[in-house]
Homo-oligomer: A and B are copies of this chain.
Amino acid sequence: MSDKNFVKEITNIEDDFSQWYTDIVLKAELADYTEVKGFISIRPYGYAIWENIQKYADKKFKENGVKNLAMPVLIPESLLQKEKDHVEGFAPEVAWVTMGGGQELEERLCVRPTSETIFSTMYSKWLKSWRDLPYLYNQWCNVLRWEKETRPFLRSREFLWQEGHTIHETEKEAKEFTLKMLDVYADVIENLLAIPVLKGKKTKTEQFAGAEATYTVETLMHDGRALQAGTSHYFGQNFSKPFEIKFQNREGKEEYAYQTSWGISTRLLGAVIMAHGDNRGLKLPPKVAPIQVVIVPVAMHKDGVKEKAEELCKKLKEKYRVELDIRDQYSTGYKFNDWEMRGVPIRLEIGPRDIEANKCVLVRRDNAEKIEVNLIELENKIENILEEIQKNMYEECAKRVVDRTTIANNMDEFIKNLESNQGYVKTMWCGSPECEEKVHELTGAKSRCIPFKQETVGDKCVCCGKPANTMVIWGRQY
């Protein structure tokens, strides 16, 4: 950012979406590649977005009675193997610690890819009576999954997330909590990140290794690909039996607990980039933006301009996240482009003539609109505009979902739809994994979910043509 006096070039979003994405990640300084293959560093600007997500979500968790704790980062191989489906799902992609303190370990330890096994072990140790229940615990931490192909935020060998793990007295309570946490995720993604979600249940093929049911919030990106943005799992007693998470129930009998887990991750930063960004760069929803207003003085070296800008900055900082750009080495035009590229929702321009007229100019990042504002009205005006931007960004994404959702009654339609208008494809489905697999082979699309809001878009399976009464939404995915 130091010695070059031009805004870094970004690949055209329609030409090469994938390269556009990488450009944004690197040039907006959200993250960077490191010397550790497949591992990124999340830079301060990207991390500040994650902190805002954390703050919002953590508050919602706590309102639902969830408490945070910390579990070990390493898990012994024998623990990982206790639940059959789970180990099959995760063992191929873990990293193993085999040496510690200069010595070969007796049993190798994996760096957690997820922590069901270690939570289950501790819950088994702690739980005695129904009176102790529920345990509603969560941890914010890092996890490792040894992916072959990696992309910053979307698929990284290490990512940051929260993993909530709860145990309950009854099946009903556990199921309800699974869905309650899915609602929290929908809240975070829709209200904070301004991205509409599609809520539903994953098919058996797509569910979490070891789960009885997996629920998901799916999002649709600029290019019409889907991104799974958060999942909440109901385990029944799948873990509580092998791990012996038992309690004395109200009748004095021994019973196994009912369990859930749920997670969102730094993947959400990928969602924000790909749902909102454009050819000018990143576009951040005001509620999650580390900088909501950037002040760029015009003709900065004229008498009193810098001072006025500083005064406004100080004042606005009481209420908003504000940055003042008085860098000497860049032109005003460069700064305008630079902050647009970094996705700051409002740019505030103030120059000698503005000061004379006691006004300034606000420029919206979402629609480039310029608004002259009297300084007296500034604070309220900014509040209104930030709200409008947040709303407008949500609506733009919602419109995309409508525009890019099609219905297919057979595979020809399915393929044609995806070719002409990539996005969600709604179909009926007979419920067989074979049809699901075949759809994937023919189209590259996977089932996103069985939406909670079911519609009857036909009466035959899109694949085999047999009678079907379940609607599935499909899409190619990140």
Contact = CB atoms under 8 A, between A and B. Distances in A.
Given A35-B121, A122-B34, A141-B142, A70 B160 contact: yes
A144 B46 CA distance: 25
Interface stretch (A72-80, A369-377, A393-401): A72-80
A39 B97 CA distance: 14
Contacts of A68: 44, 47-48, 51
Interface in A106-152: 108-109, 111, 118, 121-122, 125-126, 128-129, 131-132, 137, 141-142, 144, 146-148
A248 B3 CA distance: 10
Given A68-B48, A102-B92, A74 B131 contact: no
B122 A32 contact: yes
A148 to B, nearest CB: 7
Nearest to A34: B72
A40 interface: yes
Contacts of A147: 101
B96 A100 contact: yes
A69 interface: yes
A366 to B, nearest CB: 26
B3 A128 contact: yes
A128 B2 CA distance: 6
A91 B71 CA distance: 25
Nearest to A42: B70
Given A3-B248, A97-B97, A72 B141 contact: no
B146 A100 contact: yes
Contact of A98 (B2, B32, B75, B96): B96
B42 A69 contact: yes
Contacts of A128: 1-3
A158 interface: yes
B70 A41 contact: yes
Interface in A134-183: 137, 141-142, 144, 146-148, 157-158, 160
A380 interface: no
A299 interface: no
Contact of A44 (B41, B92, B137): B137
Contacts of A102: 92, 146
Among A73, A76, A141, the most chain B Cβ lie within 10 Å of the Cβ of A73
A5 B194 CA distance: 51
A50 B141 CA distance: 14
A329 interface: yes
Contacts of A442: none
B47 A67 contact: yes
A158 B74 contact: yes
B41 A69 contact: yes
A368 interface: no
Contacts of A327: 131
A111 B69 CA distance: 21
B72 A158 contact: yes
Interface string A287-323: 0000000000000000000000000000000000000
A96 B95 contact: no
Nearest to A248: B3
Contacts of A34: 71-72, 118, 121-122
A131 B96 contact: no
B72 A36 contact: yes
Given A3-B128, A44-B67, A96-B97, 18 more contacts: A32-B125, A32-B126, A34-B118, A34-B122, A35-B76, A36-B75, A39-B72, A39-B73, A39-B74, A41-B118, A44-B68, A48-B67, A50-B70, A74-B95, A92-B102, A96-B100, A131-B329, A141-B142
29 contacts: A1-B128, A1-B132, A34-B72, A35-B79, A35-B121, A36-B72, A36-B118, A39-B73, A40-B72, A41-B71, A41-B72, A41-B118, A43-B69, A44-B69, A44-B137, A47-B69, A70-B160, A72-B158, A73-B111, A73-B142, A74-B95, A74-B144, A96-B97, A97-B97, A97-B111, A98-B98, A100-B146, A131-B329, A142-B142
Interface of A: 1-3, 32, 34-36, 39-44, 46-48, 50-51, 67-76, 79, 92-102, 108-109, 111, 118, 121-122, 125-126, 128-129, 131-132, 137, 141-142, 144, 146-148, 157-158, 160, 248, 327, 329
